[in-house]
Structure 1
Amino acid sequence: MSDHGQQRTPVLLLEKVAKLYEGCPPVQVLHDIDLTVSQGELIAVVGPSGSGKSTLLSLVGTLDRPTSGRIHLEGHDLTGLSDRQVAALRARRIGFVFQQFFLLPGLTTVENVAAGLLYTGVAAGQRRERAESALRDVGLAHRLGHRPDQLSGGEKQRVAIARALVGRPGLLLADEPTGALDAVSGKGVIDLLLELNAQGTTVVVITHDRDLAASLPRRIGLHDGRIAFDMSDSDVHAAGNVEQGSPS
């Protein structure tokens, strides 16, 4: 049994999830997706353009709702929740990192990160303190007063990660987190995601980069809106052990 088959706490559970966009003709983007993401996993979701990666991210991140099927987030069945309840759950339990950093140009680094707490119920007096702590965690304690135009691309992405983590979410969703970065900055961001995962954060990375995907312990491939493969390092090791132990 693979790591993702073991009985760890499910952070995400998708059951027969499908997404249809109305139109002429209608477009079926996802077909009967079954997926479990357990606490503490580090996962890459890969696939060509049009495979359904972005739609899957929107559904998993509760930014959109499926046409059919069910999504459970930390035990909450989202089907029966109102839009307001879903938004509150998202604010508390999910962090987002995007290829475009979406930092507010008129705010300092610490103010941008503190903005990630606006809808979480954290008192105003605690926002800056937690924002400073999150920036220290991503190695930017020396950039608290800088604005985005004073930061490198890698530093901007670290600010975006700090903003995603400042609410202490159970799940971090990263959409092409290295897509706008050079190789050195991209490696720094991936190293940071690895470090955060080692500390217990569940991380799902959406990426076109197969080299990046290959470096992560579980890979899920999408093709034409369906899961084409779902494999982990433990699956590969188990297969190797069986092959080595089989009679010649």
Structure 2
Amino acid sequence: MKNVKPILVTGCHRSGSTWVGNVLAKSPSVSYIHEPFNGMCRPGKCRVIFPHTYMYITQANEENYYDGLNDTLNFKYNIPAELKFLRTPRDLARLTRDYLIFFYNQLNHISPLVKDPMAVLSAEWLAHRFQMNVLVLVRHPAAFVSSCKQLGWGFHFENLLHQPLLIDKYFKQFEAEIIDHVNYEHELIDKLTLLWKLIYTAVIDYQDNNPEWLILRYEDICSQPLSQFNHIFKTFNIEFSTTAQKFIQESTNYSQFKGIFK
């Protein structure tokens, strides 16, 4: 098995991280972990409780997050945490399945592939603390807004305003706008436009400070998926398997980019 660094696939939500993450997960060198920063993640997989959507973690506030995320990235399944939420035989079956997957990954020294748009503002901390390779996806703002509007997805800007470390680091110049969106109702398109602007303001900073990261436009990946993924796989030192290539061809041919922007 190759010595592969952990991988983070992130970017604003609805920017293609699900599809891209699933393609990369076809490599036998990695195992997919779905959105540990999402409050819906099973506690057996990640026992951390994140108080905010788009959580910003740094060395200054990592105390409540490091140990749990370290367990997740090392495939240490938390049986006691999961047992508290068992209600049905199906829950028990899921616990057994997830535990065996984590155990297999530990035994075979497989690297984690974390797909999580909610981790984008903690990407720098994750990269430095866990020596992760990072892929940040950028989707055209109009496409992002359209995708979220179709689902009726807005955003509560309290999640950002209540993180003073985040405001001071990236969003000080936008603080008045954020406060305005907290205090007054705005059109959905205005909310989504501001959110996109904020997220990718941080990403521009990442680009300046982390030249080794991959920061790619999702539309470019979709227009030339085989060549783009070949580049990503090579950069991350993982096998561009025939299974991955077949998955790319099937998913793009089937949808012609309709429905794969997830």
Same fold (TM over 0.5): no
Bigger relative contact order (CA 8 A; separation at least 6): 2
Question: Which of the pair is proportionally richer in strand?
Answer: 1
Please give the TM-score of this superposition, normalised by the length of structure 1. 0.29
Question: Which of the pair is proportionally richer in helix?
Answer: 2
